[in-house]
Amino acid sequence: MSQLTLAKIRSSAGPGQPAPKSKRRDIQGLRAIAVLAVVSDHLLHWPSGGFVGVDVFFVISGFLITGLLLREYDRTGTVSFSGFYRRRVRRIMPTAAVVLALTSALSFLLFNASRAQQTVEDAAWSLFFSANWHFAAAGTDYFQGSGPVSPLQHFWSLAVEEQFYFVWPGLMLLIFWLGRRAGTWGRTKTRKAVGVAMLVIVVLSFGWALVESAGSPTVAYFSTFTRTWELGVGALLAVSASALGRIPSMLRPVLGWAGLAGIFWSIFTIGSDMPFPGPGAALPVLATALVVAAGTGGEQRHLWPLTNGVSGYVGDISYSLYLWHFPVIIFLGSFIPQGTLLFNAAAASAALALSVVSFHFIEERVRKSGWLDNCEAATASRGDRRRRRSRQRRRTRLITVSLLAVLGLGTCAYGLISNQTAGTEASVQDAAPASPLEAGTTPEAARAHALEEALAADSWPRLTPDIGELKARGYNNISCHVSPSEPDPSDADVLETCLNGDKAAPKTAFLLGDSYAASLSPGVIAALVPEGYRVVVLARSSCPAVGIAVKLGDGSEYPGCSDFQGFMRTQVAKYQPDLVILSSWHGHVVNRLASGATGPEAMSQWKTALTATVKELSASAKRVVVVSGTPSGRNLQECATPLSKPADCVAPVPEAYKTFTEAERSAVGSLGSKTIGYVSVQDWFCASGRCPPFIGRNPVYVDGGHLTAAAAEALGPLLRAALLRPLPKDS
């Protein structure tokens, strides 16, 4: 998992459901704090624990819904499934459907075709409350995880809640039925049975959350099974409502303020490096439970940060605010640079305005309309039935007109995309040819000329491959490039399984490294095979060839990497190649060392490990060359839109990359060996500190880091000159 990091995933938390008719002011205030924390996290990337808002919402939802079901049973002696789900649909679906439809339509206006189609697929998963499993699968697939963030990723939490409510009411009804069959169960005993059942579920779910958070953090974050305990804590509060009503009035403020302090502590101190949701979510869940308990059956006036009018109104619109804010942030990035004051102000204003409109004209209108109410009209007067039918006809017309408007917008968007694509193709066909180069121009000079032309481009050329065809699998066409979850290649004969070129070639070269090294391999093969080399590529995603322990992108341990590093060194010792090439991504040093070191200490550890690895390999190979990783660029799948220009996708050389390459150069130079060299590729991708998104007609990166096969292959002449340049000993 690369781009779709856990930090990114944790920025997507949901508010569960809209407020019920009878509102507790403290709970509305909790909703306000939670949704503002989530929005701030998405918009400002601050505070660090803003994503715990979802945990607050889960507890609230479990408390309110379970309480509703218990009160219905006390009142009627049963629970109406149809009535329950009608209420859920009426509260959840209208605003959600509008957001999904408009987001899908706008994606065709503001995204490239491939990303727009992916957004529509995300909308389908969201509509059927399965988004959490969809995004978990994408996040755990290394080759999908590097894609752009979906504007609908935040729908995962609604999916978790609805899956919980597909099961929990039925289990409660089963317990109620067993109580009636027993004949001796009263109201208190029945509630105790419900509480015991939920307590067992909470314990099992929390235990599974601990296991999954340690072993599969991405799945743990999205999984219904690892999140059920949070809703369950809220359910236990509802079951215990009678007991909570007996809390002494003097103790309530203490509990309430302690819980509120715990929520704020969680928001400002929990970070993406903490195992989540087990045990990381325990503090915000328990803190929320304290606040809810303090206000159950008693006054809530003592918690003025929650019970004031402003908090109450933000709590009212929290559902709409949550649904709208993330698409607004993603879409607005097509017009205004993210992170600027203008962007933050515009995004906050737009999200707030849409939320207010949605709350008053969709949520409230539907809630008051009686839509999907139970068929109680049989006992109503004839006039009531006529008025109900009249309202129903008006709603039907309104829904029909709205759907036609959305479909019309989508059609217009599609037409605009088609016209812009056709116009782009026509302009490419009519474009002036590239400036000619003089005969005998060196590869370095030709590359510099191509960089200048790319940086000067004011319109998109026809790229090969097309932006819509950029897939992470495009750099995974090497047989011995394995993902973190796949086994090592067989060591029976890597010359059979991992070979590129003629097996009978007189010379052998090994390319070792991570997925970034694998993406470079088409260039290495193009450089060396014509020179009589057979090229063996051994690469494991997220695993550098340098002998140092690293973590995966989600912060979990990566023991398979250490094993693979040993496997690579063993193969070099076995085959005694003429040339060994190492290449690694600079991000390993920035934030992925297993030691936890960062900054200068991390760089020092990397230099020490690189020196030791190169010395060991040089004992078995005639020549060892360390090739710097590529500087990161903009992800074309995100920044290239029908409204953007190439200049919008130009990226600066990251400072961390500069520091990393200088450290590597220093480490290699300190060895003082005539058979060890270092090659920096920065000038092949950037000029004057600016890195274009394409060079010639080739997109540089699949995802902002991994090279496209076409871009890598174009490096063949440059790599040939750099790798085979005579070293001092050969002169």
User: Which region holds residue 704: left if phi is over 0, alpha if psi is between -120 and 50, else beta?
Assistant: left
CB distance 10 to 221 below 8 Å: yes
For residue range 5-43, what is the model confidence (pLDDT) as tens digits? 444 545 555 564 444 446 899 999 999 999 999 999 999
**Whole-structure pTM over 0.85, yes or no?**
no
Which of these, 264, 282, 290, lies nearest to 32 by C-alpha position? 264
Return the amino acid letter for 235: A
Q: How confident is the model at residue 20, as a pLDDT?
A: 44
pLDDT tens column, 689-726: 999 999 999 999 998 899 999 999 999 999 999 999 87
E strand or H helix that includes residue 435: none
Return the structure tokens found at 728: 């001092």
All structural domains of the chain, each given as residue ranges with its CATH number in brackets, are: 6-374 (no CATH), 443-730 (3.40.50.1110)
Please give the Cα distance from 617 to 68 (Å, whole number).
68
Cα-Cα-Cα-Cα torsion 617, 618, 619, 621, nearest 10 degrees, comes to 90
Look up tokens 């390999």; give the residue.
617
Q: CA-to-CA distance for 634 and 640, rounded, in angstroms? A: 9
Give the pLDDT of residue 77. Answer: 87
- What is the rounded distance in angstroms from the CA atom of residue 62 to the CA atom of residue 239? 10
All residue ranges of the chain with pLDDT < 50 are: 1-7, 9, 16-21, 142, 375-380, 403, 406-407, 411, 413-433, 472-473, 729-731
Look at the alpha carbons of 21, 26, 30, 32 in this order and tell me if their dihedral is positive or negative. positive
Residue with tokens 């999908």: 144
Q: State residue 37's pLDDT score.
A: 98
Residue 436: predicted pLDDT: 54
Residues 530-580 pLDDT 10s? 999 999 999 999 999 999 999 988 778 888 999 999 999 999 999 999 999
Does residue 723 sit in helix, strand or coil?
Answer: helix
Cα separations (Å) of 165 from 24, 88, 159?
Answer: 22, 9, 10
pLDDT tens string 80-139: 988 999 999 999 999 999 999 999 999 999 998 889 999 999 999 999 999 999 999 987
From residue 337, give the alpha-carbon distance in Å to each of 111, 261, 346, 492, 690: 16, 35, 11, 52, 17
Q: What's the token pair of residue 104?
A: 């899908």
* Angle (deg, nearest 10), helices 156-182 and 53-76: 30
